[in-house]
Amino acid sequence: MSGKLVPEINDVTREYWEGTALGELRLRTCLSCDAKFRFNHGWCPQCGSAELGMEATSGKGTVTNYTVIHVPPYEAYAAEVPYALVLVELDEGVRMMANIVDCDPASVGIGMRVEVTFEERGPVMLPQFRPSN
Binding region for other proteins (CB under 8 A) = 4-8, 13, 38-40, 64-74, 77, 80, 82-83, 85-87, 94-99, 110, 121, 126
Q: Is the backbone peptide bond immediately before 72 cis, with ω within 30 degrees of 0?
A: no
Q: How far is the CB of 6 from other proteins (least distance, A)?
A: 7
Q: How far is the CB of 110 from other proteins (least distance, A)?
A: 5
**Which residue lies nearer to other proteins by CB, 40 or 49?**
40
The total of other beta-carbon atoms located within 10 Å of residue 103's CB is 14
**Which residue lies nearer to other proteins by CB, 37 or 132?**
37
Measured CA to CA in angstroms, residue 131 lies from 4, 9, 102, 105 at distances of: 23, 28, 8, 11
**Which residue lies nearer to other proteins by CB, 58 or 65?**
65
Beta strands across the sheet bearing 52-56: 36-37, 26-30, 52-56
Q: How far is the CB of 121 from other proteins (least distance, A)?
A: 6
Q: Helix, strand, coil % (nearest 5) of the chain?
A: 10, 40, 50
Q: How far is the CB of 25 from other proteins (least distance, A)?
A: 12
